[in-house]
Amino acid sequence: MLPAYNVESFSDFTKPENDASMHAALTKAKSEIGKTYPLVIGGEVIERKDTFTSINPARPAEVVGYFANGTADDADKALAVATETFKTWQYVPVEERARYLLRAAASMRRRKNEFNAYMVLEAGKSWYEAEADTAEAIDFLEFYARQAIRIADESHLLAPYPPEQVGYYNIPLGVGAIIPPWNFPTAIPTGLLAAAIVTGNTVVFKPAEQTTWIGYKVAELFWSVGLPKGVLNFLTGPGEIVGARMVTSPLTRFIGFTGSKDVGLWIYENAAKVQPGQKWLKRAILEMGGKDAVLVDETANLEEAAQGIVAGAFGFQGQKCSAGSRAIIVDSVYEQVEKRVVEIAKELTIGMTDEGNHIKMGPVVDQDAYKKIMDYIEVGTQEGKLLLGGQPLETPTNGYFIPATIFGEVPWDARIAQEEIFGPVLALVKANDFEDGLRIVNSTEYGLTGALFSNDRERLEQARREFHVGNLYLNRKCTGALVGIHPFGGFNMSGTDSKGGGTDYLLQFTQGKSVAERL
């Protein structure tokens, strides 16, 4: 019997010993910059002369690593190896599979600052954002280890039937394609891999191209605790080649994906097509983003609301699917909240996140993201009133820095109030009253997270019913879901509502088998 699950605590970097430890981890990580990394299929290290680079977005000339450009043939090989390995891995007792996760959690906990440092350098995360990411990864490992044991045999939930011995078992699906995003480059890959592996599946793992270095370190963590060869196969390369083959192959049983709506819809459509030789209907476990809203009414604590708006909008440069990129404020308090939000956002420090914990905002992830965000800011100047930011931060390194940008008086149906921007851009929208605000909240095609700041009990209860998102937060910011506490996943175009960190999440990686023996 495992001890009770508890969320991982966060390090306090204001303490000298933690500050020193993090600086040491950054020094170690920097010593590894520029190495070349292979594919790993069935434990076989496969090197390629054809490589692509991953860079430090704060210093784009700095290549953190070179990675093999895998091919469709490599994907086929990895899927075939995973298929063969599944024949034995599926029968490994769940307690044994869970122990791999627990060992990985213990190792990551000891090396927490190392993983933090990789994210600071490759993803541009601040120290505290990186710390939260690594802590969440540890939580996934610990939580899913326990949940896998709980759900493996659910025979005790069946009604008694004396003529027969009955059982109900959640058994693995098969081979999974694991395709995570770059914005939570440690937590989400770790969670997807842990969920698939602990339930008895084998996987082919293709990390996001922007954070392949971190992806390799996550895979290496699993291998380091003795995971058998072929259970986790590491594949890198262009998504349109490698990722596409992983999705469409008849050997693939399920796809675990987090990323953009466009790619998610492509996966959803193509996973539904039965390929020649395919014996099953593929399962798609998708999380695709959001245009999340914070609603503030006239009864709210306005200081708490303003603090929550800024924290939700600009944490990790707004590059979270849960980011509160719309603040919908009731007319009678709009000016007060607008003024305070701008004041708080002005205090956010932006710069090289490897310099220390005082830097709250780093660069956006790459040049494509930078251009897309700046294009949206140009749109915003036509749709609303620019209150803060709007111009990139010029640095000697030509890093992809965009300060916190706020537009006021934005129409509810403006592009910057409806479309996901995935950057540090906040639209302030005025509502006539609470009912109008709730209408605006539900006006987008997404439904991931949202928050309401109000001290009106009837409105809080109405929001529970009518604020249509997968994760609703009352009188707190709309980011920062904790594993096992805030199961995470959204409605509508935000995905399949596959609640990561929830008690039923692992069921999506299994299929139920009922067995009855006549006595």
The pLDDT, as a whole number, for residue 305 is: 98
Cα distance between residue 405 and residue 132, in whole Å: 24
Residues 220, 207: contact at Cβ < 8 Å? no
Instruction: Give the per-residue pLDDT at 277.
Output: 95
Q: Read off the pLDDT of residues 140-159 as tens digits, 9 standing for 90 and up.
A: 999 999 999 999 999 999 99
Q: What is the full DSSP assignment across 18-51?
A: HHHHHHHHHHHHHHTTTEEE-EEETTEEE--SSE
Q: What whole-number percentage of the chain has pLDDT above 90?
A: 99
Amino acid at 143: F
Q: H/E element holding 314?
A: helix 302-314
Task: Please name which of 104, 118, 114 lies closest in space to residue 231, comparing C-alpha atoms.
Answer: 104
Query: What number is the average pLDDT over the span 278-296?
Result: 97
Residue type, 46: I
pLDDT in tens, 79-117: 999 999 999 999 999 999 999 999 999 999 999 999 999
Parts of the chain belonging to CATH 3.40.605.10:
16-288+497-518
Could you tell me the pLDDT band of residue 247, with boundaries at 50, 70 and 90? very high
**Tell me, what's the pLDDT at 1?**
74
Please give the pLDDT value at position 312: 98
How far apart are alpha carbons 265 and 470 in whole angstroms?
19
In a 3-state reduction of DSSP, which class is residue 450? strand
pLDDT tens figures, 380-422: 999 999 999 999 999 999 999 999 999 999 999 999 999 999 9
**How is residue 510 written in tokens?**
């299994």
**What is the predicted pLDDT for the residue at 12?**
96
Residues making up the chain, counted from first to last: 519
Place of tokens 């939000």: 341
Q: What is the mean pLDDT of the chain?
A: 97
Q: Can you give the pLDDT at residue 475?
A: 98
Write out the residue limits of the CATH 3.40.309.10 domain(s) in the chain.
293-482
pLDDT band at residue 340 using 50, 70 and 90 as cut-offs:
very high
- Per the CB < 8 A criterion, the answer to whether 305 and 337 are in contact is yes
Question: Three-state secondary structure along 219-285?
Answer: HHHHHHCCCCCCCEEECCCCHHHHHHHHHHCCCCCEEEEECCHHHHHHHHHHHCCCCCCCCCCCEEE
Encode pLDDT of 442-483 as tens digits: 999 999 999 999 999 999 999 999 999 999 999 999 999 999
Q: Give the pLDDT of residue 95.
A: 98
- Residue 343 carries which side chain, given as an amino acid letter? E
Cβ-proximal residues to 218 (8 Å cutoff; 6+ apart), any chain: 137, 185, 186, 189, 190, 193, 207
pLDDT of residue 2: 87
Q: Where are the alpha helices (DSSP H) in 123-258?
A: 127-152, 187-198, 212-224, 244-248
Residue 517, burial from CB neighbour count under 10 angstroms (0-12, 13-18, 19+): exposed
What is the largest distance, in Å, between two alpha-carbon atoms of the chain?
79
pLDDT at 426: 98
Residues labelled as active-site residues: 287, 321
Fold of 16-288+497-518: Aldehyde Dehydrogenase; Chain A, domain 1 (3.40.605)
Percent of residues, the chain, with pLDDT higher than 70: 100
425: nearest Cα among 358, 361, 489, 334: 361
How is domain 293-482 classified at the CATH fold level? Answer: Aldehyde Dehydrogenase; Chain A, domain 2 (3.40.309)
Residues sharing a CB contact under 8 Å with residue 87, sequence separation 6 or more, in sequence order: none
